[in-house]
Structure 1
Amino acid sequence: MPCPLRAPSEFQPATEPGFWKLPHIWTRTKASMVYSTFEQQDSFSEEHSDLCLVQLLGTGTNSSQPCRLSDFCKTLMTRPGCSGYCLSHQLLFFLSARMTECTKGLFRQSQRYMNLFCANKMDLNRRAEAIGYAYPTRDLFMENIMFCGIGGFSKFYKLRWLEAILSWQKPQKGCFGKPAAEDEELPKAIQYQQHLLRRLKRQEKQFTDGCSSHNTAMAVAALGGFIYVLAELPPADGELWPPTPTPPSSH
C-alpha cells in the first residue's frame, strides 16, 4: 500500500511534555517467550510503521479518533518473528498505545505484546553481550534498554551493561559512535549474530570525528533510564531490582 512520508506534526502528541510516563510498576522478561527463529530478512517498512503510529495517535489527515486501527496495522504490529529494527517499531507502537491510554480491542493485549517483544529484546541484548558488544550491535543494544526500560522491564538495568555503555563514550568529545579501531575479520558465527542485531536507520548522521547522532541519542536515553532506576532502587548482586516485583497494569 502506498505510504507518503509522515509530516513531523503528525507525531506532535508524542513530543509533548508529559506524554512519556516513567514506570513505577516493574516486571521481568520470560525466556519462554523468545522466538525459536527470527525472520532472516528485515522487510519491515518505516513508512508503514509511521502510518500505523499516526492512526494510533489520531493525527492523520482524516482527523480520526486515537486508538483506531486498520487491519493492516493490526497485522503489521503483531507480526511474529521480528528482530532488531522491526521489533523496536512494534514495541514503540504498543508503548505509544499505553501512553495514549488505548485499552480496547487489540490494546487489551498490549502488556502481553510488550512482554513478548521485550523477552526477544533481552535475548538480542544477551547475544550482543556474548560477542563482546561489537560496534554494529551497540545502537540497538542501547535502544532495547531505552524502550524496555520505559516499558517497566527491570532486568534491562544491569550494572555490567551500564559499565559497558559508559566505556563506549569518546573521552575527548563526549559522544558515542564508531570506535577508532574495529576488527575487520570476524568469525562467521559472530557475523551471523551481527546480522540479527544490526539496525539500519532512516535518519542517521555520522560525523567525521566518528560521532554518531543516533548512537549518542540512544546512549543518553539508556543512561537516563539507569539514573532514574539508580535513584529508585538500590543495586544488589549486579542487578537493579524493585524490592517486591508488582504485576503490571492491564494495558
Structure 2
Amino acid sequence: MSSPGLPLLLLLLAAPPLQPSRLPPPDTPEGKATITGFILSTLDRATSFLKKRLPEINLDGVVGFRMLEGGTNSSQPCRLSNFCRTFMTRPGCSGYCLSHQLLFFLSARMRGCTKGLFRQSQHYMNIFCANMMDLNRRADAIGYAYPTRDVFMENIVLCGMSGFSDFYKLRWLQAILSWQKPREGCFGEPGLTTGPLSVSPDGCSSHNTAMAVAALGGFLYVLEEYPPAEGKLRPPTMTPPAGH
C-alpha cells in the first residue's frame, strides 16, 4: 500500500488558510502575537492579489487629492476655488461623499495648508469622523451587509490616519479578517458588476481589497506601536465628538 504522505501534504497545501473564529485579547504577548499573525497572513494574500490586478485598481479614493489639485495652481498650492470650498464643507454628506470630504482636509494638512479655510481643518475633521463613526456603528448593527463594507473600511483608514483611535476596534478587525476570500486572497462579493465596487467573475473587488489592506495596515501599526489595555486597541489619541 502506498504511503499517504504525499497526497496528504498536497491536500493540506491546497486547503484555504484558516480564519480566526474569535480573536484573543491583545493585552498579552501571546494574544498580540496571534492577532499580528492573522493580520500579516491576510495582508500577504491580499497584496499578492493586488499585484496581479494592479491595472484594475479603482482610484476613486484619491478624489480628495484630485479636487485639491483642481482648485489650486502650482504657485499657490493651498488656494481653493469657491466650488471646492462649498462642496467640501457641505453638511449632510454620507458614504463616499463624507469620506472624501475628510480626505480633502487630510490631504490639505499633508500639504501644509494652514490658512483660510484650513485653519478650521481639525473642526471639520472632528465632525466628519464623528459622522463616519455613526455610519460604521450602523454597519456593525446590521451585520456588515456587503454594500456597507467598502466605505466601512475606508472610514477606518481615513479617520485612523486623522488620529481617531476609536476606529481601531478589535470587533471590527475580526470582521475585516473574516471577509477575505480564502483561496483568492481578495475581498469582494460575487454578483456585483457595476459601480466603484465592481468585481471580477471570481467575486474579487480591487477597491474593496485595497481598502482592506489599508485598514489592516492601520490595525497592525496600532498593535505594534501601542501597548493594548483591557483587551482593546486604543492608542492615546483623540476620540470623535458626538455626531453632527
Residues 157 and 214 in structure 2, CA contact (< 8 A), matched pair in contact too = yes
Give the number of the structure whose residues are more often helix, by fraction: 2
Could you tell me which residue of structure 2 aligns to residue 96 of structure 1?
107
State the shift of 1:65 in Å: 1.4
Instruction: Give SS of 1:176's match.
Output: coil
Could you tell me which residue of structure 1 aligns to residue 119 of structure 2?
108
- Given the alignment, which residue of 137, 140, 145 partners 1:129? 140
Could you tell me which residue of structure 2 aligns to residue 120 of structure 1?
131
Deviations 1:86-122 (A, max 9, x none): 1011011000011001000000000110011000000
Could you tell me which residue of structure 1 aligns to residue 91 of structure 2?
80
Q: Which runs of 5+ in 2 are unaligned?
A: 1-59, 240-244
Residues 64 and 103 in structure 2, CA contact (< 8 A), matched pair in contact too = no
Q: Which runs of 5+ in 1 are unaligned?
A: 1-44, 183-199
Partners of 1:246 and 1:72 lie apart in 2 by: 31
Q: TM-score, structure 2 length as denominator? A: 0.67
- Given the alignment, which residue of 217, 235, 241 partners 2:234? 241
Figure out how many residues of one structure are paired with residues of the other and give that number: 180
Partners of 2:145 and 2:233 lie apart in 1 by: 25
Identity of aligned residues (%): 72
Could you tell me which residue of structure 2 aligns to residue 193 of structure 1?
none
State the shift of 1:49 in Å: 6.0
- Given the alignment, which residue of 156, 166, 174 partners 2:185? 174
Matched, 1:207 2:200: yes
Could you tell me which residue of structure 2 aligns to residue 69 of structure 1?
80
Q: TM-score, structure 1 length as denominator? A: 0.65
- Given the alignment, which residue of 49, 62, 67 partners 1:52? 67
Partners of 1:66 and 1:138 lie apart in 2 by: 34
State the shift of 1:173 in Å: 1.1
Spell out the pairing of 1:118-197 with structure 2 (5 A cutoff): 118-178=129-189
Residues 176 and 219 in structure 1, CA contact (< 8 A), matched pair in contact too = yes
Residues 186 and 209 in structure 2, CA contact (< 8 A), matched pair in contact too = yes
Q: What is the identity, as a one-letter code, of the residue corresponding to 1:241?
A: R
Partners of 1:139 and 1:236 lie apart in 2 by: 28
Cα RMSD, aligned residues only:
2.9
State the shift of 1:236 in Å: 2.7
